[in-house]
Amino acid sequence: MEVIYFKNAAKALRKMDIPTKERVKARIEGLTQNPPAGDIKPMEGYTNGTLRLRVGDMRIIFRYAVENNENFVYIIDVGYRGDIYK
């Protein structure tokens, strides 16, 4: 399963300090496992299968997709709980 980062998510990861970045990336890698690891819940108000992963005070917004018989995890955004849902 391949992980693809949207522009907002990649930018947020670049701005993080190294320990936080490593923790978030480890949790993102957990999404590629079967079954996915972590505190995952569906996002309310979204019908396209958008999910969120909780990492302490941070949230990772993502969705799964299958294209041409390949599985992908699209990381849409990464941020702190107070800012990510706005």
**Whole-number pLDDT of residue 1:** 84
Residue 71 pairs in a beta bridge with 66
Identify the H or E element spanning 14: helix 7-15
Identity of the amino acid at 14: R
Q: Per-residue pLDDT tens for 12-62?
A: 999 999 999 999 999 999 988 888 888 889 988 877 889 999 988 899 999
CA distance 41 to 21: 22
- CATH class of the domain whose range is 2-80: alpha beta
The model's pTM is: 0.87
Hey, what amino acid is at 73? V
DSSP 43: P
What is the band of 84 on the pLDDT scale with cuts at 50, 70, 90? confident
Examine the pLDDT at 82 and tell me if it is beyond 90.
no
Under a CB-based contact definition with an 8 Å cutoff, are residues 50 and 43 in contact?
Answer: yes
CA neighbours closer than 13 Å in the CB half-sphere of residue 11: 5
Q: Is the pLDDT of residue 85 over 80?
A: no
